[in-house]
């Protein structure tokens, strides 16, 4: 990864605390579940976005970005390529600060929409890996004992 990209990602991770995860699955074996649970345990506020589920990770799931109350710092996307431009449009409509396309995902159209709306944009990068790289902690912190 280039130094410029590292600096750009550092900037985004410096302000992103409330992350809407579009396509978050309630299936523990899915990448979206693993990334979101890692981020949740690292202290990020996760807002699930998936119209097919009501709850995941003990959090209410919203059918769309427009249904989420409050400001969204980052839209982390786990959707098929044909949906990426639409998610970027939704992110622009709710004035999210950034759009992050997970590892293996890229879209020139989504990039154009996001940057044209003044949002920061990252593609083809795993948010969990980038956070772990910067904190030096890939493993999850221990689960607190049940009361």
**Residue found under tokens 């959707």:** 79
Beta carbons within 10 angstroms of residue 49's beta carbon: 26
Domains and CATH numbers, the chain: 3-135 (3.40.50.720)
Nearest alpha-carbon partner for 119 in 61, 71, 70: 71
Label residue 126 exposed, middle or buried (CB < 10 Å: 0-12, 13-18, 19+): middle
Confidence of residue 136 (pLDDT cuts 50, 70, 90): confident
pLDDT given for residue 147 in this prediction: 46
CA 66 to chain centre: 16
- Helices within 1-147 (DSSP H only): 3-15, 31-41, 84-93, 108-116, 127-135
Q: Is the pLDDT of residue 2 over 80?
A: no
pLDDT given for residue 59 in this prediction: 98
pLDDT given for residue 101 in this prediction: 98
Average pLDDT of span 4-15: 94
- Residue 78 in contact with residue 127, Cβ under 8 Å? no
Nearest alpha-carbon partner for 102 in 56, 33, 50: 33
Which tens digit of pLDDT belongs to each residue from 63-113? Answer: 999 999 999 999 999 999 999 999 999 999 999 999 999 999 999 999 999
Which tens digit of pLDDT belongs to each residue from 19-75? Answer: 999 999 999 999 999 999 999 999 999 999 999 999 999 999 999 999 999 999 999
């Amino acid at each position: 990864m280039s130094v410029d990209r590292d600096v750009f990602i550092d900037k985004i991770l410096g302000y992103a605390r409330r992350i809407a995860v579009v396509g978050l699955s309630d299936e523990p074996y899915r990448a979206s579940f693993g990334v979101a649970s890692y981020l949740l345990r690292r202290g990020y506020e996760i807002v699930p976005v998936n119209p097919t589920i009501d709850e995941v990770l003990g959090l209410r799931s919203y059918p769309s970005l427009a249904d989420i109350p409050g400001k969204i710092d980052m839209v982390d996307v786990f959707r098929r390529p044909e949906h990426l431009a639409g998610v970027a449009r939704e992110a622009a409509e709710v004035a999210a600060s950034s759009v992050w396309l997970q590892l293996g995902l890229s879209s020139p159209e989504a990039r154009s929409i996001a940057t044209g709306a003044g949002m920061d944009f990252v593609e083809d990068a795993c948010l969990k890996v980038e956070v772990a790289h910067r904190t030096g902690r890939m493993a999850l912190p221990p689960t607190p004992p049940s009361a």
